[in-house]
């Protein structure tokens, strides 16, 4: 499902919005004798160094992104790894034993996730409690800036959707479709970003050219064009460039795999370490970037994918969420919904395979610094929004489709093309087998 505010964005604004809702419902854990199960002894706190906690954005994000991309063949997939980690880690503050251990080892410790607002973005955590229930004081003390409200199951969808819509300025109008369980709680985490390019694209230079979502199947799209000095690198694996934002030290990092490498296969065989190697080898170089305008949304139920990543106990009747509600039956996570929206225009952002894509820093040579490069993003590519080193990743995704151009902007000079570069998606049968897990 695509979700965005109706109408056109003003040319001076660019937006990105992400929301994750995590619902914890009651479920009585029983043993084989049909008696309440005895909770195991609490596990010791999982120690995570601050640097390791930061790196979890990429490790967690690339792992989840690869799985979601395989399940949504041909679609754009956009996620906020820190946003999802925050929702999971917040729930873990009320868990113990193996439940807490699994979440913290994958998503990190809530106290080590930096959610301080910036000049161009903000975060919000909201906890919705059933009427007549109260949060345990110890649990609530973990969240200095969280908002807590009481609601009935019947009123919850409207209240939560109104809150999310307000926090994202209408870019994500809703996230909850069904009322929650009468004894459950809902955590929502929202990330809203409005970033302007440090070097805006000139709207007069925007042209019409073909974007090839699949080989030999091009769609006319609006391409923004900029000649500038960029942090850039290229190799047999593909091209990478960084487009800096004006505030908060943030940048968009874009990777265009080589013609014989699909985004799916690159993600399947690589991850955060390979991405960091590419980023670490970038250097300044003059060149031209042709980037399609983008306006897209994404919605997914991601609990099954989190289970594949090792967070399993939280979704079962053996879950140990004993430290959230006062006088509550055992809780488990019933669902994790993630929703995102991104729009990219001339002013900013409103928010390999074949087998051999073994990517190392040495594989991204700078080449002749005197020779300008050209990077035309006319086929599927990957992107992140984060700091220049990509230690902090607020947003990441795979762009496989862009909106068709509907105006009469002039075509790119000398770009009449009958064919298309690129390789067929290698998600193949595995994506089709798993595609029912996160349907639109």
Task: Check: pTM over 0.85? Answer yes or no.
Answer: no
Closest by alpha carbon to 348, among 90, 9, 69?
Answer: 9
> How far is 210 from 230, CA to CA, in rounded Å?
24
What's the token pair of residue 78? Answer: 């956009």
Closest by alpha carbon to 344, among 137, 166, 193?
Answer: 193
Residue with tokens 């300025």: 169
Q: What tens-digit pLDDT sequence spans the chain (440 residues)? A: 222 222 233 322 233 445 555 565 543 322 223 222 333 333 333 444 444 555 689 999 999 999 999 998 889 999 999 999 999 999 999 999 999 999 999 999 999 988 887 888 888 888 988 888 899 999 999 998 888 988 888 888 898 889 888 888 888 888 887 777 766 788 888 888 888 999 999 999 999 999 999 888 899 999 999 999 999 999 889 999 999 999 889 999 999 999 989 999 999 999 999 999 999 999 999 999 999 999 999 999 999 999 999 999 999 989 999 999 888 778 888 889 899 999 998 887 755 111 112 122 223 444 455 589 999 999 999 999 999 998 989 999 999 999 888 744 444 444 433 333 333 333 333 333 344 343 43
What's the token pair of residue 58? Answer: 């990429």
Q: Within this chain, do residues 223 and 360 fall inside the same structural domain, yes or no?
A: yes
Q: Within this chain, do residues 261 and 314 fall inside the same structural domain, yes or no?
A: no
Q: Within this chain, do residues 276 and 309 fall inside the same structural domain, yes or no?
A: no
Cβ atoms of residues 176 and 184 within 8 Å: no
Q: Within this chain, do residues 340 and 221 fall inside the same structural domain, yes or no?
A: no
What's the token pair of residue 271? Answer: 């991850």
Evaluate whether residue 156 is within a structural domain: yes
Evaluate whether residue 181 is within a structural domain: yes
Evaluate whether residue 325 is within a structural domain: yes
Q: Within this chain, do residues 96 and 83 fall inside the same structural domain, yes or no?
A: yes
Cβ atoms of residues 177 and 299 within 8 Å: no
CATH number, domain containing residue 158? 3.30.497.10
Cβ atoms of residues 304 and 312 within 8 Å: no
Q: Which domain holds residue 226?
A: 196-293+352-406
CATH number, domain containing residue 388? 2.30.39.10
Strand partners, 360: none
């Amino acid at each position: 499902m695509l979700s965005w505010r109706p109408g056109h964005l003003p040319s001076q604004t660019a937006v990105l919005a992400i929301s994750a809702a995590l619902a914890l419902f009651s479920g009585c854990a029983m043993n084989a004798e049909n008696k309440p199960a005895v909770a195991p002894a609490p596990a010791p706190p999982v120690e995570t160094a601050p640097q390791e906690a930061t790196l979890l954005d990429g490790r967690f994000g690339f792992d989840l992104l690869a799985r979601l991309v395989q399940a949504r063949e041909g679609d754009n997939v956009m996620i906020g790894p820190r946003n999802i980690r925050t929702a999971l880690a917040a729930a873990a503050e009320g868990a113990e034993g193996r439940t807490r251990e699994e979440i913290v080892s994958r998503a990190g410790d809530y106290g080590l996730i930096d959610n301080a607002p910036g000049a161009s973005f903000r975060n919000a955590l909201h906890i919705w409690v059933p009427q007549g229930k109260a949060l345990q004081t110890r649990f609530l003390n973990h969240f200095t800036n969280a908002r807590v409200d009481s609601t009935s199951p019947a009123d919850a969808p409207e209240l939560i959707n109104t809150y999310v819509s307000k926090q994202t300025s209408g870019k994500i109008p809703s996230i909850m479709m069904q009322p929650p369980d009468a004894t459950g709680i809902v955590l929502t985490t929202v990330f809203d970003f409005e970033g302007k390019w440090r070097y805006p694209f000139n709207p007069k230079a925007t042209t019409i050219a073909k974007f090839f979502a699949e080989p030999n199947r091009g769609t006319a799209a609006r391409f923004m064009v900029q000649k500038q000095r960029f942090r850039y690198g290229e190799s047999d694996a593909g091209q990478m460039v960084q487009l800096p934002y004006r505030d908060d030290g943030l940048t968009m990092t874009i990777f265009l795999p080589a013609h014989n490498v699909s985004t799916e296969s690159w993600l399947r065989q690589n991850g955060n370490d390979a991405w960091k190697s590419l980023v670490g080898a970038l250097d300044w170089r003059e060149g031209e970037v042709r980037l399609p305008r983008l306006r897209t949304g994404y919605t997914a139920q991601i609990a099954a994918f989190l289970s594949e990543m090792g967070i399993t106990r939280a979704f079962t009747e053996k879950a140990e969420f004993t430290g959230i509600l006062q006088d509550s039956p055992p809780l488990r996570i019933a669902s994790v919904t993630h929703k995102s929206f991104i729009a990219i225009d001339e002013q900013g952002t409103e928010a390999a395979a074949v087998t051999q894509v073994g990517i190392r820093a040495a594989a991204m040579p700078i080449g002749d610094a005197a020779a300008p490069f050209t990077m035309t993003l006319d086929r599927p590519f990957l992107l992140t929004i984060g700091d220049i080193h990509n230690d902090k990743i607020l947003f990441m995704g795979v762009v496989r489709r862009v909106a068709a151009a509907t105006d009469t902007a002039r075509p790119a000079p000398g770009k009449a093309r009958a064919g298309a570069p690129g390789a067929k998606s290698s998600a193949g049968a595995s994506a089709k087998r798993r595609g029912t897990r996160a349907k639109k």
